[in-house]
Chain A
């Protein structure tokens, strides 16, 4: 009997023990789950903090870039504004200068005409070339390839060349018209007063001006032709000064002087 009771008690105790162990396991599992959750929350907290900081840092870096760009934009705006102001000033000045030069066009064209008249009325020395130079000046002014100041400067250079021609004597080859026929002849120009010619076929002559028109007139007088020869020879020898007996035909109908 005692043995039976003992066994009963043992069974009961074993059952109770088993029950207690199961419950303990359940508590442990639950505690573990809670601990895991707390761990997860801790990690989440850390991730939130990291995420916040990362975002903040990146935004801060972008803000810095934005500020830097805004600063550069401000500088560029100032640069552009300064350049635009300078351009306006230059354009105004340029426009005023152009206007002033444009106003000179008419007086310069008139000046070209004045000099052209002088050339046309003067000695027929390379007339076409000299007039072509004036034509070129006029065309460059009217065609706007050169402004009035430039053309006026070049016109004065032309005048200087003309003045030089008027004070120098020189020997050239030039096509001249003798009795209606064009012929290439040696010519001597004495300033812008006189010209003498000598042709290959031995004709001599000088320029005459009758009723305002220039012409080449043959001379046959031996003294006169010798004088012209002497002048040609002298110039060939580079002697540009001296006394020569030359026929001088002035604007005297039928008259001549030596």
Chain B
């Protein structure tokens, strides 16, 4: 009677320690948990790889774009710099053209003053240079010829006595003037456009000049 009573607890303890149903449940729970965690870890590792790969692609793509844009900017800057230098050259040319025009206008102003002073008809200095140039230089030619020519005209002059006389006046360009009339001789300017005899010369000495003039 005593033996069965002792064996029962031992069996129970053994059963409790090795109960197959309890162990199998635990094993299954553990395996499921392990598998789930491992799957999760693997998924995360893949995701990490994917993110890294995606980042690398995105960054490479952006860097490529930046390199492209940098090159484009550099190219545009080179073009702009060249254009700026071209523009500066054109501005210099234009300035030089304006300076030449100023120089021409100044020469024409000077010509106008000179020709007007010499008795030429006044002209419009602002007219088209195409018309202005022939006009100015034709007048200049006439003036130069006149200043190298003997010319005679009828006119009045003052004799040595101070009396006015009428006669012929001969001009050796702008250099000398002679009178032939009541008193013949060398003339000098008296005022701005009058002459007076400063040295008498016999009429027969001057006659050949007046005849030719």
Partner of B205, one of A101, A169, A258: A258
A149-B104, A193-B148 known; A115 and B37 CB under 8 Å? no
- Complex CA gap A170/B161 in Å reads 33
The answer to whether B212 touches A251, judged by C-beta atoms less than 8 angstroms apart, is yes
The answer to whether A163 touches B17, judged by C-beta atoms less than 8 angstroms apart, is no
Partner of B133, one of A40, A44, A104, A243: A104
Cβ of B21 within 8 Å of any chain A Cβ, yes or no, is no
The answer to whether A157 touches B52, judged by C-beta atoms less than 8 angstroms apart, is no
- Complex CA gap A83/B3 in Å reads 116
Query: Which residue of chain A has its CB nearest to the CB of B136?
Result: A156
The answer to whether B41 touches A37, judged by C-beta atoms less than 8 angstroms apart, is yes
Partner of A34, one of B26, B30, B66: B30
Interface string of B149-183 (1 = CB under 8 A from A): 01000000000000000000000111110000000
Residues of B with C-beta under 8 A to A19: 17-18
Cβ of A233 within 8 Å of any chain B Cβ, yes or no, is no
Cβ of A110 within 8 Å of any chain B Cβ, yes or no, is yes
Query: Which residue of chain A has its CB nearest to the CB of B118?
Result: A163
Partner of B173, one of A30, A69, A192: A192
Partner of B134, one of A51, A87, A111, A169: A111
Interface of A is mostly: helix
The answer to whether A48 touches B44, judged by C-beta atoms less than 8 angstroms apart, is yes
Residues of B with C-beta under 8 A to A84: 83
- Complex CA gap A20/B37 in Å reads 27
Residues of A with C-beta under 8 A to B48: 44, 47-48, 51
Interface string of A8-52 (1 = CB under 8 A from B): 010011001001100100010010011001101100110110011
The answer to whether B90 touches A90, judged by C-beta atoms less than 8 angstroms apart, is yes
Chain B positions 96-147 with a Cβ under 8 Å from a chain A Cβ? 97, 100-101, 103-104, 106-108, 110-111, 114, 129-130, 133-134, 136-138, 140-141, 143-145, 147
The answer to whether A16 touches B14, judged by C-beta atoms less than 8 angstroms apart, is yes
Cβ of A65 within 8 Å of any chain B Cβ, yes or no, is yes
Q: How large is the interface on A (under 10, 10 to 19, 20 to 34, 35 or more residues)?
A: 35 or more
Partner-contacting stretch, out of A53-61, A174-182, A197-205: A53-61
- Complex CA gap A38/B144 in Å reads 116
The answer to whether B212 touches A250, judged by C-beta atoms less than 8 angstroms apart, is yes
Chain A positions 180-239 with a Cβ under 8 Å from a chain B Cβ? 190-194
The answer to whether A40 touches B69, judged by C-beta atoms less than 8 angstroms apart, is no
Partner of B59, one of A58, A73, A103: A58
Cβ of A255 within 8 Å of any chain B Cβ, yes or no, is yes
B96 to chain A, nearest CB (A): 10
The answer to whether B63 touches A62, judged by C-beta atoms less than 8 angstroms apart, is yes
A40-B41, A59-B62, A114-B137 known; A153 and B186 CB under 8 Å? no
- Complex CA gap A248/B201 in Å reads 14
Cβ of A141 within 8 Å of any chain B Cβ, yes or no, is no
- Complex CA gap A192/B176 in Å reads 12
A213 to chain B, nearest CB (A): 15
Interface string of B54-96 (1 = CB under 8 A from A): 1100110011011001101100110110011011001101100
Partner of A193, one of B55, B70, B134, B175: B175
Interfacial residues, chain B to chain A (CB-CB below 8 A): 3, 6, 10, 13-14, 17-18, 23, 26, 30, 33-34, 37-38, 40-41, 44-45, 47-48, 51-52, 54-55, 58-59, 62-63, 65-66, 69-70, 72-73, 76-77, 79-80, 83-84, 86-87, 90-91, 93-94, 97, 100-101, 103-104, 106-108, 110-111, 114, 129-130, 133-134, 136-138, 140-141, 143-145, 147-148, 150, 172-176, 186, 198-199, 205-206, 208-209, 211-212
Listed A/B pairs (5) with beta-carbon separation below 8 Å: A34-B33, A76-B77, A80-B76, A97-B94, A250-B208
List 14 additional contacts besides A48-B44, A101-B97, A153-B103; criterion CB under 8 Å.
A20-B17, A37-B38, A47-B48, A55-B55, A76-B76, A76-B77, A107-B133, A107-B134, A111-B136, A114-B137, A153-B107, A190-B176, A192-B173, A252-B211
Interfacial residues, chain A to chain B (CB-CB below 8 A): 5, 9, 12-13, 16, 19-20, 23, 27, 30, 33-34, 37-38, 40-41, 44-45, 47-48, 51-52, 54-55, 58-59, 62-63, 65-66, 69-70, 72-73, 76-77, 79-80, 83-84, 86-87, 90-91, 93-94, 97, 100-101, 103-104, 107-108, 110-111, 114-115, 117-118, 121-123, 147, 149-150, 152-153, 155-157, 159-160, 162-163, 166-167, 169, 190-194, 243, 248, 250-252, 255-258
